[in-house]
Amino acid sequence: MKKLKINRRKFFKRFLYSLVTLQFVYILFRLFKPQKEAADIEKFYDAGDVSFFQKGKMYPFGSEQFYLHRLTDGGFLALSSRCTHLGCTVQFNANNKRLECPCHASAFNTNGEVLSPPATRALDYYPVVFKNNRVLVDVNHPVRRNKHDNSQVKYV
């Protein structure tokens, strides 16, 4: 049997070629791998039946860190419970009908718009969809925004 003689230079050269080849194969694999659908309903948080939510009320979902606001016109808006100033958890003040940050006194209206600084932009919101008369909230994809827009409200 012939003994294979390899010097240090050949070893590192082959090692680097192997790494480059592996990286190339990995990139090709990732490129041709099927992408997950953005609207995968199983990934949404099931907030409950549409009929459960009264118009004009704010519902906290502490475990998922959002508030679900049912507007007086029947629309739904899911607002993040994280203050846009430094990320503290905002709380709904039912007497003043606003969301307030206990850390630095920022306040937001029920649509998430800034009422008092130091926060400078509106609360993030989560996309809402409806399936079989259920309210589903996409808690995995918060949407950053500067102000409220009526297109962010979803209707059944």
Q: Contact 108/46 with Cβ under 8 angstroms?
A: no
Q: Residue 42: which pLDDT band, with cuts at 50, 70 and 90?
A: low
**What's the whole-number average pLDDT of the chain?**
89
- Of residues 31 and 109, which shows the higher confidence score? 109
Tokens representing 153 are 């409200």
pLDDT digits (tens, 9 = 90+) for 93-152: 999 999 999 999 999 999 999 999 999 999 999 999 999 999 999 999 899 999 999 999
Q: Contact 76/70 with Cβ under 8 angstroms?
A: yes
Q: Which class does domain 41-152 fall in?
A: mainly beta
Q: Residue 36: which pLDDT band, with cuts at 50, 70 and 90?
A: low
Report the C-alpha gap between 68 and 97 in whole angstroms: 14
Residue 86 has, within 13 A of its CA and on its CB side, a CA count of 9
